[in-house]
Structure formats: structure tokens, C-alpha cells
């Protein structure tokens, strides 16, 4: 596996302990790598008004964007599960918006040691991207 991907998985695993998941108990860590090579992390943050909850993947993306990044190469997520899990639809769409060259690798890793890699285009075929003047 690519060295950068191992770094991403480790970053997602490490940050997962900061998740705020008092309602679901399902803590998720995420890490994205930008085209600059810099890694940004995020965790899920739940809220008693459930609709205000945000997923780990979007936190990582928004941190990267807030630091000036606009192209992401890959995302890794880490969960304490037996089987791999994948980003929700909202996260897939946000990832698509900032995917370098329109696609990226999505790496799902678990505490049981499973690691799977899929293309975002496989998880979100024909994603939506609008640019004024299109």
C-alpha cells in the first residue's frame, strides 16, 4: 500500500479518539491529503439537534479548504468496526467537489485490520458539479 495512504490511515485512526459521538456511539476519524501533500484530519461531531451533526469526512475537507486547499487526492476513514464503512452521500458529494482531476481514492480502514480502497467515481457515479457560466 502507498506510504501516503498508510500515513492517512494512521492520522484518521489517531484523530478518531477526539470524535464527539454521545448519541450514536459511532466514532469516526478521517484524513484527507491535498495536492500540496498536506494532511488534514476530522472527526464526526454529533449534536442533540441531530440535523446539525457533521461527519468526519466533511470536517477534514472543510479544514483543508479553510486553509486554502482546493484539490484533494485521497481520503481515509477509520472506524472501530469489523467491516469497512463508506462515506455517506453528503460526504461523497463534498469530496467530489474538491477531488483532484475529478476523482480520488477513498480508503476505508477498521480496527479489525481491514482496509479497502475504492474510487470516489465508483461510490458516486456522475457526481454533480456546477460552475457559473457552465
One DSSP character per residue, 81-126 reads: SSS-----HHHHHHHHHTBGGG--EEEEEETTS-EEEEEHHHHSTT
Active-site residue, 67 included: no
Q: Report d(CA 21, CA 38) in Å as an integer.
A: 27
Options 57, 67, 97, 122, the catalytic residue: 57
| Residues marked as catalytic | 57
Amino acid at each position: 500500500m502507498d506510504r501516503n495512504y498508510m500515513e492517512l490511515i494512521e492520522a484518521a485512526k489517531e484523530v478518531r479518539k477526539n470524535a464527539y459521538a454521545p448519541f450514536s456511539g459511532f466514532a469516526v476519524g478521517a484524513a484527507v491529503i491535498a495536492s500540496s501533500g498536506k494532511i488534514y484530519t476530522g472527526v464526526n461531531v454529533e449534536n442533540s439537534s441531530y440535523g446539525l451533526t457533521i461527519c468526519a469526512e466533511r470536517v477534514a475537507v472543510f479544514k483543508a479548504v479553510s486553509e486554502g486547499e482546493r484539490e484533494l487526492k485521497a481520503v481515509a476513514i477509520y472506524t472501530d468496526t469489523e467491516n469497512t464503512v463508506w462515506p455517506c452521500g453528503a460526504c461523497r458529494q463534498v469530496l467530489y467537489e474538491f477531488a483532484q482531476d475529478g476523482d480520488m481514492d477513498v480508503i476505508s480502514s477498521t480496527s479489525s485490520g481491514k482496509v479497502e480502497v475504492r474510487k470516489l467515481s465508483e461510490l458516486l457515479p456522475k457526481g454533480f458539479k456546477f460552475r457559473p457560466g457552465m
